Structure 1
Amino acid sequence: MINIHSWLLLMFVFFSCSIPEKEQENPILQLKAENYIPELADKLNEISGLMIYNNHLWGFNDSGGKNELYGFNKSGKIKYEIKLDNAQNEDWESITQNDKHIFVGDFGNNNGNRKNLCIYKIDKKDISDKGEQKVDVKEIEFKYADQDRFSYLDKTTPYDCEAMVAFNDKLYLFSKNWRDGTTWQYEVPTKKGEYEISPTDTFNVKCLVTGADISPDNKTLALVGYENYRSFIWLFSDFPGDRFFEGKSQHIKLEGIDGAQTEGICFLSNDSILVSCEKTQSHYQQVFLFDLNKLSDGTH
C-alpha cells in the first residue's frame, strides 16, 4: 500500500509534467501599480493608446470619439488638441512613432466585420506649438490576407487589433484574438499604400492584448492586456532582429488595478512603464506607473 508521502510525491510529479512547457518557462510575476496621473481630463474618459512626444503624453478616445489627438501634462490637463484632417475615428486603438512620423491605428474590429482598416500617418514637422490645430494625414490601408468572411462575430473574431509599434522602419501589429487568447504578429510598411498582411509569428499571451510599446533602447517589447478583469504585461527582450517572441519572455500580473480596463502603454524609461485605463465603474480615466526594478523576482 502506498503511503501518504509517496502519494503526494507522485501527484507533484504528475502535475509538474502536465504543465505546458511555455507555462513552466513563464511563471506569473507581480508588479504593483503606482499612481502617476490619478485622473485625466473628462475629454479622455475613453483613452485608448498612449505615447510620449514633445515632453507630453498623448492619447485619444476610441470608437466613436473625435478624430483628435490630445497632448496632456502630468497633472492630466490637456495642452494640445490636434485634429486629423480628412480622418475618421471609427475605432482608433493604438499610437506609435518613429523619428519623423506619428502613426494612429484605426483598426479596432471587435465584431470582425470591418473592411476599412487603416493607419493614419502624420508628419511631425506639421505639428506646431499651437494649442489647437489641424494636420494632414496619409493613409496606410490594409486587410488580413486570410480573412474571407466578414459576418458579424461578437467578440469571437481573431481579426481584431489594438496594439502597434514602430520598429526598424516597419510597423508591427499584435492582434487582440478573442478566439483563443493568443496574439498574432503582423508587419505593415510605413509608406502610404494598400497592403495584404499575414501573420509572421504568434504567442500564447493568455489574455486580450490592448497595447504595445518598444523601450527607448529598442531592446524590450511590452504588451499590455487583460483577462477576467485582471491586467497583465508581457515583456520580450534579447530577441533576434524583429523576432520578438523568440527572446526572453516575462508574464507579469499588474497588482492593485483589478477591474481596470487597461488600454494604452508606453515606456517612461527603459526601466519604467506607464499604462492608461479608461473610465469604468471601478476606476477613473488615469495613468499608472510600473517600476520594472520592483519586479517580484528581482530580474530587472
Structure 2
Amino acid sequence: MINIHSCLLLMFVLFSCSAPQKKESSAVITLEAEKFIPEIADKLNEISGLMIYKDHFWGFNDSGGENELYGFNKSGKIKYEIEFENAKNNDWEAMTQDSKHIFIGDFGNNMGTRNDLSIYKIKKKDISKKEEQKLEAKAIEFKYTEQKQFHFPDKSTPYDCEAMVAFKNKLYLFSKNWRDGTTWQYELATKKGEYEITPTDTFDVKCLITGADISPDKKTLALVGYQNYRSFMWLFSDFPGDRFFEGKSQYIKLEGIDGAQTEGICFLTNDSILVSCERSRGFDQQVFLFDLNKLNDGTH
C-alpha cells in the first residue's frame, strides 16, 4: 500500500514542476558609474529622457518645460532645438524611437489626477540641419481602463508612468507605481488615435521606474529607477516575444550616484548604457556611463 504522505509529496512535486514561476533576481549586484557627459547646458537642466540619433544625444525638460526637444553633443552643448507644434509639455517624461519616428511621452502623473495622457510623435525625415526648427507633432492619446478615481493620497498612485520603448511596431509603457514598488507593463499602437490600455504583465522591481530602453540588437530591456535616494537598474534578456519579464533578470545597484535623480536611459552599445540625471541638490544635470562588461558577477 502506498503511504498517504508519499502520495501527497508526489502530487506537490508534480504541481511545482508544471506551474509557471515568475523569474526574479535573487540578489542585488553592483555596477560603478563612470562620468560620460559631466556638464550639459543649463537650458536642459531637467533631462528626463535620453536618446541617441544622428550622432547626437537628445533630451528634454519635464513638467513646466518648453515643448522642445534638444540635441546636444559630447561636450554638453546644445546644437539643435526642435519645437513640437500642436503639443504641450504638461509633464514629458520618456522618449523612444523606431525607424521612422521619435516618440515623447507626456504621461507624467505623480498625483494620479491627469485625464489628458498622450504620446507625441514626429517624423525623422522632417528633421533638418537647422539649429532651430518647428515640426508638426501627432498625438497618441490614451487612458488607463482600470483607473476609476483621480484623487490619491500623496505618493500612492499606481497610474504614473515615466518609461517607454518602441519594440516590434508597438509602444510599451512601464509604470512608476508609487503604491508598492512594482511596475505594470502596457502596450499600445504607434498610430495616432485614442486608446484604452490595461496591464499585460507586472514585475516587482522594488523601486520607482523612471526610464527604459531596448538594446540595439533588441535582446535586452533595461529599466532604470530609484528608491530612497539610491539608483537601480534592471536588465531583462532571453525573453520570449514581448514577454520581457519572463526572461532572465538582473537587479543592479548603480554605485557612485546615490542622491542623483536618475531619469533617462539609453544603450550606447549592446554592452554599455547611458543614464541621465536632472539637476538636484547634490548633482548637476549630466550623463553617466555603465559598462555592462564590468558586472561583478560576470553574467552579462
Shared fold, TM over 0.5: yes
Question: Given the superposition, is the C-alpha separation of residues 23 and 122 from structure 1 closer, same or farther in structure 2, using an over 3 Å criterion?
Answer: closer
Residue by residue, what CA displacement relative to the aligned partner does 1:243-296 show, whole Å, maximum 9, x if unpaired? Answer: 000000000000000000000000000000000000011001000000000001
Sequence identity percentage: 76
Matches within 5 A, 1:153-192: 153-192=153-192
Question: What is the distance in 1 between the residues matched to 2:156 and 2:22?
Answer: 24
8 Å contact kept, 2:161–2:175:
yes
Question: What is the distance in 1 between the residues matched to 2:47 and 2:153?
Answer: 24
Which position in structure 2 is the counterpart of 1:3?
none
Question: Given the superposition, is the C-alpha separation of residues 125 and 108 from structure 1 closer, same or farther in structure 2, using an over 3 Å criterion?
Answer: same
Which position in structure 2 is the counterpart of 1:35?
35
Secondary structure of the residue that 1:125 maps to in structure 2?
A: helix
8 Å contact kept, 1:113–1:153:
no
Which position in structure 1 is the counterpart of 2:253?
253
Return 82-91 or 21-30, whichever deviates more: 21-30
Return 185-194 or 149-158, whichever deviates more: 149-158
Question: What is the distance in 2 between the residues matched to 1:229 and 1:220?
Answer: 26
Question: What is the distance in 2 between the residues matched to 1:221 and 1:293?
Answer: 16
Q: Alpha-carbon deviation of 1:25?
A: 3.8
8 Å contact kept, 2:22–2:246:
no
Q: Alpha-carbon deviation of 1:151?
A: 1.8
Q: Alpha-carbon deviation of 1:24?
A: 7.4
Unaligned residue ranges in structure 1 (runs of 5+): 1-20
Q: Alpha-carbon deviation of 1:153?
A: 3.8
The answer to whether residue 214 in structure 2 is matched with residue 202 in structure 1 is no
Secondary structure of the residue that 1:61 maps to in structure 2?
A: coil
Matches within 5 A, 1:21-170: 25-170=25-170
Q: How does the TM-score come out when normalised to structure 2?
A: 0.92
Question: What is the distance in 1 between the residues matched to 2:125 and 2:178?
Answer: 38
Give the partner amino acid of 1:227.
Answer: Q
Question: What is the distance in 2 between the residues matched to 1:170 and 1:153?
Answer: 33
Question: What is the distance in 2 between the residues matched to 1:91 and 1:102?
Answer: 17
Question: What is the distance in 1 between the residues matched to 2:23 and 2:173?
Answer: 24
8 Å contact kept, 1:26–1:249:
no
How many pairs does the alignment contain?
Answer: 280
Q: Alpha-carbon deviation of 1:22?
A: 7.0
Q: Alpha-carbon deviation of 1:154?
A: 2.3
Give the partner amino acid of 2:299.
Answer: T
Q: How does the TM-score come out when normalised to structure 1?
A: 0.92
Return 190-199 or 24-33, whichever deviates more: 24-33
Question: What is the distance in 2 between the residues matched to 1:212 and 1:122?
Answer: 20
Question: What is the distance in 2 between the residues matched to 1:177 and 1:165?
Answer: 18
Residue by residue, what CA displacement relative to the aligned partner does 1:104-137 show, whole Å, maximum 9, x if unpaired? Answer: 0000000000000000011111110100000001
